[in-house]
Amino acid sequence: MLTLRDFENAYEKVQEIVLPTKLIKSDYFSDQTGNQIYLKPENMQLTGAYKIRGAYYKISTLTEEEKKKGLITASAGNHAQGVALAAARQGVKAVIVMPTTTPLLKVNRTKDLGAEVILYGDVYDEACEHALALAAEKGYTFVHPFDDPTVATGQGTIMMDIFKELPTVDYVLVPIGGGGLATGVSTLAKLLNPKIKVVGVEPAGAACMKASLKAGKVVSCGHVSTIADGTAVQTPGKLIFPYIQENVDRIITVEDEELIPCFLDLLENHKMLAENSGLLTIAALKHLNTKNKKVVSIISGGNMDVITIASLVQHGLIMRDRIFTLSVFLPDKPGELTKVSQVIAQAQGNIIKLEHNQFVSINRNSAVELTITMEAFGTEHKEKIIKALENAGYAPELRDSKSVF
């Protein structure tokens, strides 16, 4: 079993490479939940994620012979960058197998750190099988991203940071993919103070750990589908599973739609960019049935490509009724568009896009369909704009806003 001394050794070693990620007290999320919420921003690490901790510590424990063989691993991106950087710092060759669905940003950054990248498979598990086959064929030393107690010990140094800053912490929320981070954090938490509650958070579309705990053994998800690509794992780690059984108090699953508004909340209120897997613990806050507790949400990473960011912003604004689309029918004569615009302007709506279609009807008294996409302050303001249009004699109908930008 992992001991406190193991974590102390790992903590001392990773100080050579990790950046300090001090806890951030969140007044916004505290007010929303009735608890004292603190953020652990591991998205601010050199590689944009906590994975550098486990990778660096694991590689530091390898023999010279194991290092000379070269390293290979499989990863959806964050472990890849951690291994690439750790290997470069210690002068070791690294080969990374990544799923073909990995965001381009993570692929390019891994290459920039000096690793050889091979794209294979649609999900992590397929990439991992290929990496293991290459390790057997070419003699590489395989560095598992999560199913390795040594890697998990390195990841668990996050908990040492948390405890040093907030020794009276009540709850720690930790994302779960394969379970390495949750293993390290939960095991050290219980060693430091058995009263600390550790809650794992999984995407509902890849809840393999929850299914395994229910079954009492490691089981695989039949199908993985989630926007939280960093935690899109079909099968949790077998070696670390007993630690999860022993030390994780509860698993919360989060739907993909819950992550989208969390992205906006974190960006607007803390000027912080987190990837979807990193948002899991933010989305889970509303699922805690607690009040007046000190809760730490681990933001595990922030590596996200620009296209995904744009999509999250658009969908988040739509979900919050800050962007919406409606249509009205107008008589086909000059000045009608101006009248509608004035009604919206007086209600403080901001028009983003207009579509003016004269050919939807042969009735010239109601021949023009005007589709308007506009910005509002939220649901209440949206309803105020719709009411203003109705009072002006129009019959607005809400439309799909998914293709705003």
- Centroid of chain to Cα 105: 15
Which phi and psi angles does 175 have, rounded to 5°? -65, 150
Local structure of 201: helix, strand or coil: strand
Local structure of 53: helix, strand or coil: helix
Q: Pick the catalytic residue: 60, 186, 277, 300? A: 300
Which phi and psi angles does 370 have, rounded to 5°? -110, 115
Rounded-to-integer distance, Cα 392 and Cα 348, Å: 15
Residue type, 102: T
Structure-token match 């050919």, residue found: 359
Could you tell me which of 99, 42, 84 has the C-alpha nearest to residue 234? 99
Residue type, 166: L
* Catalytic residue flag (residue 300): yes
Could you tell me which of 317, 328, 337 has the C-alpha nearest to residue 379? 317
User: What does the longest C-alpha to C-alpha distance in the chain come to?
Assistant: 84
Q: Pick the catalytic residue: 13, 26, 40, 51? A: 51
Rounded-to-integer distance, Cα 93 and Cα 279, Å: 32
What secondary structure does DSSP assign to 104-126, as a single string? HHHHHHHHHTT-EEEE--SSHHH
Indicate which residues carry an active-site annotation: 51, 300
